[in-house]
A and B are shown apart, each in its own frame.
Chain A
Amino acid sequence: MTVVDAHGDFDTFYLQEHPQQVKRATLLLGSDELANDLVHDAFIRVYQRWGQLENPGGYLSRSVLNACRDEGRSRTVRLRVLGRLAEPAATTEPNDHLVDALMALPFNQRAAIVLRFYARMTVPEIAEHLGVPTGSIGPWIGRGLTKLRKALA
């Protein structure tokens, strides 16, 4: 059944948003498999609230970003707890110093950089997507780029 409301039908929304969300999540997670999972689950949450959300796109983006953030956190916790016993998450990416350095960044820095240099968002748009004050974005990007330069030097 197609759900339609003031935002349009969900199917169209899904088809429009899904590829981009997966790509963006892939950059944040370093794994397209995981990205597909998390984006899928975020869409479920949107679908369940479809018609109630004031801004489905914003909700979806925030939900995906939060899922990426929490996945990274959980992975870190798990790896710490298990130490060497745990296998790191599989990544689909080949060895790439730039990607490695990017993935080593704290989430907020990585997200800000991805949204800036991949999604080409403005600073206010990044702030809105991440749900943080605008003033936070510049330092995150700046610190992230600094770390990338050091890592690649």
Chain B
Amino acid sequence: MNNLEQQLEERLHQIADGADIHPDLAGVKNGQSRTLANSSADQGRRPSRTAFVAAVAAVVLGAVVVGTVLQKPGTDITSDAAADSPLDDASSTTVPPSDESATALADSLPTFYLRGDDISPLTVSINRWPDTDVSQSAWELKSSYELNAIDPSDDQREGYGLGMFAVPTVEGVADLDDRLAELGSNGTDVESVSVADWDGWRFEADNVFVLFETDKHLVTLSFWPDTDDETMDHVLAAVGDDLAGFQQMATDDRLTSDGSIKPWVLAAVEDPGPELLSLFPPPNATPSDDDSSEVVPDGSIPEGLLTESDLADGTFTYTFARFVDDEPEKLDPDDITDETGCRLLGELIGPLSTFPSQRAVFTGTDGWEFAHGVWDLEAETNAQILDRFRRVGPECAGWDDLSTDEVPAFGQGNFILAAYLAGDQLFYIELENGSTQTGPERLTEILAAAGNR
């Protein structure tokens, strides 16, 4: 043991021995949480809503609504109208090889990138860092999967994630390590290939998240769910060094009965990563005239919550998340089909059924699905979108429970627009920087209005 290690060991023991220990066996048996009970202490750690709004107002230039859906397969969490949503069928989310431009682009590209048949199932997200150039490498990587070409015209936005897509049906991981190694050593514009230091990234027996950055991009690979330990070790060996900065990821901390971690993860990439982790809307997506969500009766969403002008520009990205706070076993179908939750999700998921190619769904070994989608505002009128929110609002008790610190952030610059609890499930909607329409004052109003619910 060298000097540092010895010094470290001694100091750690000093600190530990000096800790005040407050046993409370009775409190444990009564199920009385200290973190809830100690509200005063908690206040010291958590920002007030006023502070939150002020901070939001200070930094937000616009708003995009972001959402993610967690869904347990085989349960109808959507409305009747949305029952046919491809969310219920992961295979329906396969993005078909298509598009002459994609093929042409793929043919012109280096072949050393990972290919879709390397890994099963694989999701890849490509995120451009803010203030960087057009992400040619992202196109290349994406095209190498023979998925969809990215319309260059869509690549002019700065600070947005470029893409996230799923390859849910491919098989085999045999070449994974070699491909990653090749990517690291031969990529024309890849400066480094590395695994994050895994802080916050659950590196488990069931999945691997490999991050590597190019000079312009962060690329995230998520392997679900059958990657074995040996393969993961290969991955680690192949991709090598630390990757600074990507230290945060919202994850679930649920444990199985033997203490292992459930293998599904909510993804977020943070400073200095991209501003957004999102699906990239495929260029050929077309809006549908079929508004299948006709579930929710009329109601009044809080005045001032969202207006057309708030959503008037840019991409509308929705993300909903549902959590069951470390009690996954309680989330039986009866919970999931909770009327309120059903209504909200049905309303907002439902429209996605008209854009199946815009969604990625992948299933963890424990039967959970994680879906992430993007909605282009141009695909529907603002009025349609707002109508959805207005209809779901009144039935969602607890929209006043707005607090970013209570909700894992999905990405840098996201803010919670609304959240509500249905039983022990938490749903929320995020606002994300990006729109040019929503200024700080307006966002403050939105948050205030939502917060008053």
Contacts and interface: CB of A to CB of B under 8 A. Distances in A.
Interface of A: 1, 10-11, 14-15, 18-19, 22-24, 26-27, 32-38, 40-41, 43-45, 47-49, 52-55, 58-59, 61-63, 66-67, 69-70, 73-78, 80-83, 85-87, 89-90, 92-93, 96, 98-99, 102, 106-109, 113-114, 117-118, 131-133, 135-136, 139-140, 143, 145, 148-149, 152
Interface string B189-200: 000000001111
Contacts of A11: 25
Given A26-B15, A76-B270, 17 more contacts: A23-B17, A24-B16, A27-B16, A36-B20, A36-B34, A45-B255, A47-B31, A74-B405, A77-B409, A80-B412, A81-B55, A82-B52, A90-B44, A93-B15, A114-B12, A118-B9, A133-B233
A62 B5 contact: no
Interface residues of B, number: 75
B19 A22 contact: yes
Contacts of B8: 98, 102, 113, 117, 148
B44 A89 contact: yes
Contact of A92 (B4, B19, B35): B19
A132 B28 CA distance: 29
A62 B261 contact: yes
B229 interface: yes
8 contacts: A18-B21, A76-B247, A77-B248, A81-B47, A81-B52, A81-B55, A108-B198, A133-B236
Contact of B28 (A14, A23, A53, A107): A14
B188 interface: no
Nearest to A2: B29
B15 A99 contact: yes
B23 A18 contact: yes
B285 interface: no
B170 interface: no
Given A62-B259, A81-B415, A108-B198, A40 B28 contact: yes
A15 B198 CA distance: 33
Question: Which among B21, B31, B203, B248 has the highest number of chain A CB atoms within 10 Å?
Answer: B21
Contact of A59 (B38, B205, B255, B409): B255
Contact of A70 (B7, B25, B232, B251): B251
B11 to A, nearest CB: 5
A30 B123 CA distance: 36
Nearest to A57: B259
Given A82-B51, A83-B55, A77 B11 contact: no
Contacts of B59: 83
B290 interface: no
A152 B4 contact: yes
Question: Which among B4, B236, B259 has the highest number of chain A CB atoms within 10 Å?
Answer: B259
Question: Which among A11, A45, A81, A131 has the highest number of chain B CB atoms within 10 Å?
Answer: A81
Contacts of B12: 27, 114, 117-118
Nearest to B326: A45
B233 A53 contact: no
B41 interface: yes
Interface in B1-58: 4-5, 7-9, 11-13, 15-25, 27-29, 31-35, 38, 41, 44-47, 51-52, 54-56, 58
B99 interface: no
Nearest to B36: A41
A53 B258 contact: yes
A18 B15 CA distance: 16
Question: Which among B197, B203, B404, B415 has the highest number of chain A CB atoms within 10 Å?
Answer: B197
B257 interface: yes
A36 B250 CA distance: 23
B271 interface: yes
A30 B239 CA distance: 32
Nearest to B8: A117
B132 interface: no
Nearest to B2: A145
A65 to B, nearest CB: 9
